[in-house]
Amino acid sequence: MTDEKNEKQVLHEVTSGEYKYGFFTNIEADQAPKGLSEDIIRFISAKKNEPEWLLEFRLKAYRHWLTIEEPDWALLHHPPIDYQDIIYYSAPKKKKELSSLDEVDPELLDTFNKLGISLEEQKHLAGVAVDAVVDSVSVKTTFQDTLKKHDIIFCSFSEAVQDHPDLVKKYLGSVVPYTDNYFAALNSAVFTDGSFCFIPKGVRCPIELSTYFRINAANTGQFERTLIVAEEGGYVSYLEGCTAPMRDENQLHAAIVELIALDNAEIKYSTVQNWYPGDKNGKGGIYNFVTKRGLCKGNSSKISWTQVETGSAITWKYPSCILLGDNSVGEFYSVAVTNNFQQADTGTKMQHLGKNTRSTIISKGISAGQSNNSYRGMVRVGKRAENARNFSQCDSLLLGDKCGAHTFPYIKTNNPTAIVEHEATTSKISDDQLFYCQQRGIDMEKSIGLIVNGYAKDVLNKLPMEFAVEAQKLLAITLEGSVG
Amino acid sequence: MNKTKQTYYPLEEALIEEYGKKAAAWTEDELPGISKLRHEAMREFRKTGFPGNKLEKWRSTDMEPVYQEPLSVFTDEITYDKKIDEIFQCDVHGFQARVLSLLNGSYYGPEESQLTVSPEGVIAGSLLAAQREYPELVEQFYGKAKTAVADGFKSANKAMARDGVFIYVPDGVEVKDTFQLIKILNKKGLMVHTRNLIVLGKNTKLTFLHCDDSVNHHEGFINTLSEVFIGENSELELYKLQNLNDETALVNQTVVHQAANSRLKVNVMTLNGGLVRNEIVDQMDGEGAWSDINGLFLIDKEQHVDNQVYVYHNVPHCESNQLFKGVLDEQSLGVFNGFVYVAPDAQKTNAFQQSSNILLSRDAHIDTMPQLEIYADDVKCSHGATVGQLDSDALFYLMQRGISFEDARMLLMYAFADEVLGQISIEPLRVNIEDMVKRRLRGELSICDRCVLHCSHPDKPIEFDIDLSKI
């Protein structure tokens, strides 16, 4: 059958797009020696001029990390990670304090331009404040003036430690304690920078805040930490993007994101993750082990996670919500795309503790090539969570006959008034849909693109406008080669 | 887990000690292959012990209190002195069955009927006797079933189980009578291990009813493993009926291998039981295999039911369905772990999985994990899970029509359970079980000193107190 052959060929073409962000910027970096020890932690802490309590926190985390083992329950296979072969601190060399965009290293600006996030353009046109993190150190935050007017604090984590130590001390580790898991302990010990955002009482953040993470230097790990606090009635929408250059070795990324929403506050956290996934033969790529958790501490608070995961050789990530306040709401929308030899084990955890808490989970997995894509999620309804409501839908789409799609939902219900529903389907693109499109003169390649985009629409719609555009493009690059 | 266990629970110690005492004597009247398996399994058991709740598959079921109990591991042979009817009576109206019984772990029957061969060549009886009479047949299949996840109970069973039921259906025979296995403990504080082997040749048919009953209120622990092999174009209907007292723990494992175009139907009904763990593994080895695995559990007090279902689609063109429903009251705890595996290249697979549960009390607890692991693209797989209470709209609708709250609630619960009950194809059995479920829902069914089936009176059907004139 020529048609079948054709289809296979197109599928092959659309699933063999190459990584387009694989450039390497030659920025001079200030690095720590390889390896991990208490001395390295002291070195990082000293470099960043940190107060004593933070060093203590790091050391406690490190000592705890030494006592625990790497988790092996995820459906992931990788050679053992040598934690002594990683550079835990790498910063672009700073010449002096920067006060305007013009002073930012032009090569760095160029990097951002290649990424399609021109700071300049976004500053004027999109009204997005960007905090860019390259190799663990936050470079520049735009739009400080507008934010200042509203008393919003948005700065790099190191600045926050210097300028707002009380706030950091109060909330750091309150959602993800260093004892939480192996990678959280590692991050707590060696985190270098990240973003800090504080929305005071009753303030709606007028612009969308954004951070770009990028791993640049070879052999470095990126360990950033994001902390967002929204006080009573506050609102913020936060965007996070990630990219890394092509390298043969595997690089490690172990981040922590903590969100705290007090009464009536809302936090919307969107991620487009496009770390280098490794080449077509599965060589290289980022190991992405991330702990993300939001705490709906106050009544009627809301936390919403949206993620588009297209990159990384390995993704191990479960953005979760603890619904502690009464009437609080948790949401999780995810599109995870894996291709070639990528492996993703991602999902969420919804812990219903307060009364009338609601959560929604929409997860769309797309696997192609020889990749494996798993959804792993847990919905737990505590004893006091009256009238808790959850709806989960996890769909998997298989492109090609060598890939795998897996679903591991855990539902634990401890209250009779709870209503919990879970649905999942696994299938390939239906021949009827393809036929329907082609019959109307759309070629095979475009049809697949159309169907895949339509499939992921539920989630893409939840992304802020410009991220949605970028996410669609990313879907196209990761999956579709030339298909738009 | 490669670590060797350092300390043992009392029950583990008792088991290892019993093995030490008996193993040498057992080699005299059993197949050397089985003794060898026994030895290997014991070595494995010494390493792992019984599973603790740190293991992924045992997270929701903590059996540690059972390991602490002063149970004696029982492997003595039973002498036949009175008819099974005097110990236990099972009397289903209009239901003809060929009864095989296991008493305290051994096959129970008069000397001459340890193993019978029907005119068509169907062999049924004691597994121990079958080893003497048909060594090649037993050797070919014994211990060959592929379990899903290794654990201490499987190795304990392999090491300790002496006897059980053996059924062999030769090619081309459709067995008309239903075989019924009755498993009883009638002494206090026993832990018994039994092992069943069921082999169906090509183009055969068998209906098998596997009952676990208690005849008293003593504590006990049953660890049983059934190996089932279904030949090409054959059909097996397997019913498991569990009505045990609240003190008994049951670990029940069934591994089925299906050849091409075979059909398997499983119905697991748990009406009562202190701690029940059912593990069903369905290995689809031949194209065109079909299976339908259903379960229903109605539990209250501090009962605990854990259903684990593993379906392995190893080849293309197979279909599997799973439907498990649970009604949980008081402090009971239910677990459902469904797992569907689709092997690479097992194209054109259809697999469906559904778990629905109703919680009736504040302290009841359900964990459900319907899981899919899929490595082929041309498949249709779906699963769903729901946990909730009775639909308040439906309740309102019924009450609005003059049906009391209690009756309306009962009616809805019965309707919920009926989706599974309706799958039972043996008419008299279905009527009886439906009747038992009704009684169970009303709290009228309790474990008596005879068979629960005996308690039911299908000729006097239970009526809902509904004034039809008001509808």
Burial of residue B393 (CB within 10 Å: 0-12, 13-18, 19+) is exposed
Shortest distance between the Cα of A225 and any Cα of chain B, in A, equals 30
Q: Is A383 left (phi over 0), alpha (psi -120 to 50) or beta?
A: alpha
C-alpha–C-alpha distance, residues B154 and B174, integer Å:
31
Burial of residue B470 (CB within 10 Å: 0-12, 13-18, 19+) is exposed
Straight-line distance from the first to the last Cα atom of chain B, in angstroms, rounded to the nearest whole number: 62
**CB–CB of A427 and B365 under 8 A?**
no
pLDDT at B457 exceeding the cut of 60: no
Shortest distance between the Cα of A354 and any Cα of chain B, in A, equals 15
Those residues of chain B whose CB sits closer than 8 Å to some CB in chain A are 56, 60, 344-345, 347, 357, 359-362, 364-389
Query: How much is the pLDDT for B127?
Result: 92
C-alpha–C-alpha distance, residues A210 and A195, integer Å:
9
Residue of B nearest to A414 (CA): B365
Shortest distance between the Cα of B420 and any Cα of chain A, in A, equals 20
Which chain A residues touch B345 with a CB distance below 8 Å? Answer: 401
**What DSSP element (H or E) covers B423?**
none
Backbone angles phi, psi at A350, to 5 degrees: -115, 115
pLDDT digits (tens, 9 = 90+) for B387-430: 888 888 888 999 999 888 888 888 888 889 888 888 888 888 88
Query: How much is the pLDDT for A248?
Result: 56
Tell me if chain B has a CB within 8 Å of the CB of A421.
yes
Which amino acid, residue B39? H
Residues whose CB is less than 8 angstroms from the CB of residue B129 and which lie 6 or more positions away in sequence, other chains included: B107, B114, B115, B166
pLDDT digits (tens, 9 = 90+) for B90-109: 555 567 788 888 888 888 88
Interface probe, candidates B55, B377, B391, chain A, greatest A C-beta count within 10 A: B377
Which chain A residues touch B385 with a CB distance below 8 Å? Answer: 409, 411, 420-422
ipTM: 0.76
Shortest distance between the Cα of A453 and any Cα of chain B, in A, equals 19
Which chain B residues touch A425 with a CB distance below 8 Å? Answer: 380-382
**CB–CB of A409 and B370 under 8 A?**
yes
**Ordered alpha helix ranges (H), B303-455:** 392-400, 405-421, 427-442, 452-455
Q: For residue A194, give the nearest of A230, A161, A163, A164 by alpha carbon.
A: A161
Q: What's the length of chain A? A: 484
Query: How much is the pLDDT for B283?
Result: 96
Of residues B370, B374, B383, nearest to A404 (C-beta): B374
pLDDT digits (tens, 9 = 90+) for A426-446: 888 888 888 999 999 988 877
pLDDT at B386 exceeding the cut of 80: yes
Residues whose CB is less than 8 angstroms from the CB of residue A281 and which lie 6 or more positions away in sequence, other chains included: A340, A341
Query: How much is the pLDDT for B450?
Result: 36
Tell me if chain B has a CB within 8 Å of the CB of A73.
yes
C-alpha–C-alpha distance, residues A131 and B297, integer Å:
55
Which stretches of chain A drop beneath a pLDDT of 50?
1, 94-101, 118, 120-128, 139, 480-484
Query: How much is the pLDDT for A126?
Result: 40
Interface probe, candidates A349, A376, A407, chain B, greatest B C-beta count within 10 A: A407
**CB–CB of A422 and B379 under 8 A?**
no
Residue A33 CA from chain centroid, whole number: 27
Query: How much is the pLDDT for A29?
Result: 61
Question: Which pairs from A102-106 meet CB under 8 Å and 24+ separation?
Answer: A104/A139, A104/A140, A105/A27
Shortest distance between the Cα of B328 and any Cα of chain A, in A, equals 9
Which chain B residues touch A417 with a CB distance below 8 Å? Answer: 389
Q: Most confidently modeled of A140-149, B158-167, B267-276, B437-446?
A: B158-167
Return the higher-pLDDT residue of B284 and A399: B284
Interface A-B, measured as beta-carbon pairs within 8 A, has a size of 112
Interface probe, candidates A12, A413, A430, chain B, greatest B C-beta count within 10 A: A413
C-beta of residue A282 within 8 angstroms of C-beta of residue A319 = no
Query: How much is the pLDDT for A129?
Result: 54
pLDDT digits (tens, 9 = 90+) for A358-405: 999 999 998 888 889 999 999 999 989 999 999 999 988 888 888 889
Count of other CB atoms within 10 angstroms of residue B210: 24
Query: How much is the pLDDT for A475?
Result: 72
As a whole number, the mean pLDDT across chain B is 85
Query: How much is the pLDDT for B84?
Result: 66
Backbone angles phi, psi at A393, to 5 degrees: -135, 125
C-beta of residue B322 within 8 angstroms of C-beta of residue B338 = yes
Tell me if chain B has a CB within 8 Å of the CB of A422.
yes
C-beta of residue A276 within 8 angstroms of C-beta of residue A22 = yes
